[in-house]
Structure 1
Amino acid sequence: MTKKITTLLFDLDGTLINTNELIITTFQKTLAEFLPEKSFSREDILPFIGPPLTETFANLAPLRVEEMIAYYREFNISHHDELVLEYDGVYEAIRALYEEDYKLAVVSTKMYDVIMKGLKLTGLDKYFQVVIGLDQVKTAKPDPEGIEMALALLGSEPDEAIMVGDNLHDIFAGKNAGTKTAGVSWCIKGPEYLSQFEPDYMLKTMGDLLEIVRTEA
């Protein structure tokens, strides 16, 4: 028998808040600083959205990873509020889920303090009982550690949860943890990109989650 959905887990960037321009601009500045001999288009940068910075920079310049991360984070934080945007309907949907007593958590590959900066900027911080950042886990998504930690803190089982995200790391992390998964069609890489990883649901708007969880009740 299928359990009732009680818990919703969300990625942050590209899912709850629109940080696409912030991330792309930060990568452009960082790569221009450390790899001036190479040219990176916006399309070249898209695959860097989602994985941890350590993984991305290790592939690009393995001897300068820590320097690049420090530069990236300093620029990202200093330009955060001017470049972060809201997605239509996300705030309203999250508020409705909260008001209907669903357990809500964020599981991101960002550092905890930067996650909170984005949530507070958009007014979403008051709706999440648990926030898991990269600095709170040993292994990033698609490893299930962050999701398992969030579920334990919320007192939820995997089969009563949905992991929502815009990247393969989110979908695979959910599958690895045993939750259901939902992709978001506003993913910067396109819904076709996410569909190939076979999430259980594809959301056209965040409001679709309300119908899903009510139907699963």
Structure 2
Amino acid sequence: MMKSSQVRGIIFDMDNTLLRSSINFQIMKEQVADYLIEHDLLPVGFAIQEHTTSTMIAYVKAKGMPEESYTEVMKMVVQHELIGMEGAGLEPDVSELLDVLMKSYVLVIVTNNSYKAAVHALETTGIHPYFDLIIGREQMEAMKPSPSGYLAAKQHFPQILESEWISIGDSWIDGRASIDAGIPFISYGPNGHLMKEKGITPIANIDSLLKLLDYV
């Protein structure tokens, strides 16, 4: 087991790491892809299966996406988020974990969700008070897998050294963003094979959130 010598700041992904949301990411991605192909912003035959919604949007933006198209696409995304966040519950052991961590660590959330949707979900599930900072997509230069949200967290807490951060998430985009920001990453849940496919090497893979305590 690799244990960091000193951790002072912990960055969490939100969906399916802290919250068990019912956002249908596959349908959201297909709807966005259909729109982009229909408006000649994505080529027919684009390898949608290799992308998330955020990486697909980033690809199109890099090619010069019109502002009105971006606005339309983000409306679709917000709609899926709002529906999926209704009745969102907590992943197992979240409250117990946060009760322990809040006494000794700076706790941050970095999520591709909108800030408003994230805060609403965190307030509804009762865990909003545990966090020192919430970074939604509006607070990032680009969504994960861009490291910008993680870099923003580091800049917000300059008293925490580079070597004193750690992060946890369930998706390869969390791992890519964290590692590219220079933050060791712990993978949570069953997606270890996807991490490997994407060239991401977490310092650990855990199947229970309470096991995070072994690494801090």
Fold similarity call, TM over 0.5: yes
Matched, 1:97 2:101: yes
Alpha-carbon distance in structure 1 between the residues aligned to 2:206 and 2:25: 24
What number of residue pairs does the alignment pair up?
A: 197
Gaps of 5+ in 2: 39-47
Matched, 1:166 2:170: yes
Instruction: Using the TM superposition, give the Cα deviation of residue 53 of structure 1 relative to its aligned residue in structure 2, in angstroms.
Output: 7.1
Matches within 5 A, 1:8-87: 8-19=10-21, 21-24=22-25, 27=28, 30=31, 47-48=51-52, 51=54, 54-55=57-58, 64-78=69-83, 80-82=85-87, 84-87=88-91
Alpha-carbon distance in structure 2 between the residues aligned to 1:7 and 1:78: 31
Alpha-carbon distance in structure 2 between the residues aligned to 1:111 and 1:10: 15
Structure 2 CA distance for partners of 1:128 and 1:45, relative to 1, 3 Å:
farther
Paired letter, 1:198: T
Structure 2 CA distance for partners of 1:69 and 1:205, relative to 1, 3 Å:
same
Instruction: Using the TM superposition, give the Cα deviation of residue 45 of structure 1 relative to its aligned residue in structure 2, in angstroms.
Output: 7.3
SS at match of 2:107: strand
TM-score computed with the length of structure 1 as normaliser:
0.75
Instruction: Using the TM superposition, give the Cα deviation of residue 164 of structure 1 relative to its aligned residue in structure 2, in angstroms.
Output: 0.9
1:142 counterpart residue number: 145
Instruction: Determine if contact 1:184/1:205 at 8 Å carries over to the other structure.
Output: yes
Paired letter, 1:160: E
- CA shift digits 1:44-78 (9 cap, x unpaired): 879536x367338879xx77443232133135325
Alpha-carbon distance in structure 2 between the residues aligned to 1:195 and 1:32: 25
Instruction: Using the TM superposition, give the Cα deviation of residue 207 of structure 1 relative to its aligned residue in structure 2, in angstroms.
Output: 0.5
Matched, 1:201 2:209: no
Matched-pair identity in %? 21
- After superposition, the CA RMSD in angstroms is 3.1
Structure 2 CA distance for partners of 1:199 and 1:22, relative to 1, 3 Å:
same
Structure 2 CA distance for partners of 1:57 and 1:205, relative to 1, 3 Å:
farther
Structure 2 CA distance for partners of 1:149 and 1:24, relative to 1, 3 Å:
closer
Alpha-carbon distance in structure 2 between the residues aligned to 1:30 and 1:156: 41
Instruction: Determine if contact 2:147/2:181 at 8 Å carries over to the other structure.
Output: yes
Deviation >6 Å, runs of 4+: 56-59
Instruction: Determine if contact 1:6/1:102 at 8 Å carries over to the other structure.
Output: yes
Instruction: Determine if contact 1:57/1:65 at 8 Å carries over to the other structure.
Output: no
Instruction: Using the TM superposition, give the Cα deviation of residue 140 of structure 1 relative to its aligned residue in structure 2, in angstroms.
Output: 2.5
Structure 2 CA distance for partners of 1:184 and 1:68, relative to 1, 3 Å:
same
Structure 2 CA distance for partners of 1:192 and 1:125, relative to 1, 3 Å:
same
